[in-house]
Copies of this chain bind each other. A is one copy, B any other.
Amino acid sequence: MTEPENFMQRAIELARQGMNQGAGGPFGAVVVKDGVIVGEGHNQVVGTHDPTAHGEVTAIRDACKNMKSFSLEGCEIYTTGQPCPMCLGAILWARIEKIYYGFRIEDAAAIGFDDTEFFRQMQLPADQRLVPAQELCREEALQLANDYLLIPNRRHY
């Protein structure tokens, strides 16, 4: 039987390969369903010029591609570092049911990553965040949103 530690070791191995290749930071992840790995990934921010290519996001995208589904209900994710807000959001949208992580948000901060500050941003009211946000064309955008409800057979996600 495969133990949780084995899945985490695979995530660490993926992270190590990625960072040694210059792909990005020390972040790897695997998605597991019913004791079997269904998706893998590691950070590729530097290698692919993609700031969204964190370990968890790449593993989720891989798993969804393999399962031909935007839902990872019934899956767990093993990730070398506690998820940042972007990755936690991705985990929630993917409907993943459990997270195993190696080092903590504050450990990521200690090696130079912004996860702690970004969690703080999420907790501030929108008008006090680092990146200013301005409402624009709300009426027209609301028309779009309402038109969405009229689309027949739309898939809920």
Tally of contact residues, A, Cβ under 8 A: 93
A 129-143 to B, binary, CB cutoff 8 A, 1 in contact else 0: 111111111101110
Distance between Cα atoms of A33 and B118 in the complex (Å): 23
Residues of B within 8 A of A154 (CB): 19, 22
Residues of B within 8 A of A85 (CB): 85-86, 88-89, 92, 122
B144 and A26 contacting across the interface, CB-CB below 8 Å: yes
Tell whether A38 is near chain B: CB-to-CB under 8 Å.
no
Number of identical protomers: 2
SS of A interface (majority): mixed
B82 and A86 contacting across the interface, CB-CB below 8 Å: no
Q: Which A residues lie at the B interface, using CB under 8 A? A: 4-5, 8-9, 12, 15-16, 19-20, 22, 24-26, 45-46, 49-52, 54, 57, 60-61, 64-65, 67-72, 78, 80-104, 107-108, 110-112, 114, 118-119, 121-123, 126, 129-138, 140-142, 144-149, 151, 154-157
